[in-house]
Amino acid sequence: MQTTTPPATWWSRNWKWCVPVLAALLLALFAAFIFGILALVFGAMKSSGPYQHAMARAQADPAVTAALGTPIQAGWLVQGNFSSNGPDGEANLSIPLDGPKADGTLFVVAKKHAGEWRYETLAVNVEGGERIVLAEEARDPEGVSLR
């Protein structure tokens, strides 16, 4: 009497390549999840009012454009924190700046009260030690910008 062994299962024939493929797939999904969260966080910071205001002011300031050159681009890794809850909020941001002549960091410290942002610090530190303080915009009594 001859005994026949049952045929090997799919898993027993293919586990040597299946395990590394599954591990790589799980690692790729985890990396995509982390990248998605980071993109949401940095996107929220970059779309905030203080970020937009500070970048516009830095790109328009003659002393900053003289020191960094034009065009001035924001770097990818914005650091700090931002929170806004209705009419109140706070922003404390450090924005890397890249220019053709030099690089720098734009610092923004702002508080929002009654729906209006007030900037405590708005300054650019140029690599090499120069600090350029961005002066507040001049406004007429009705609050219209004179610049």
Residues 106 and 81 in one domain: yes
- DSSP tag of 48: S
Distances (CA, A) of 81 to 45, 52, 75: 8, 15, 16
Residues 75 and 119 in one domain: yes
Residues 103 and 128 in one domain: yes
Domain annotation covers residue 120: yes
Q: Which tens digits make up the pLDDT trace of 46-102?
A: 888 899 999 999 999 998 999 898 899 988 888 888 888 888 999 999 999 998 989
Q: How many domains does the chain have?
A: 2
- Structural domain boundaries, residue 67: 49-133
Residues 79 and 36 in one domain: no
Residues 28 and 76 in one domain: no
Tokens, residue 128: 């090499």
Q: How far apart are CA 58 and CA 126, in angstroms?
A: 12
Tokens, residue 61: 């300031």
- DSSP tag of 145: B
The model carries a pTM of: 0.71
Domain annotation covers residue 6: no
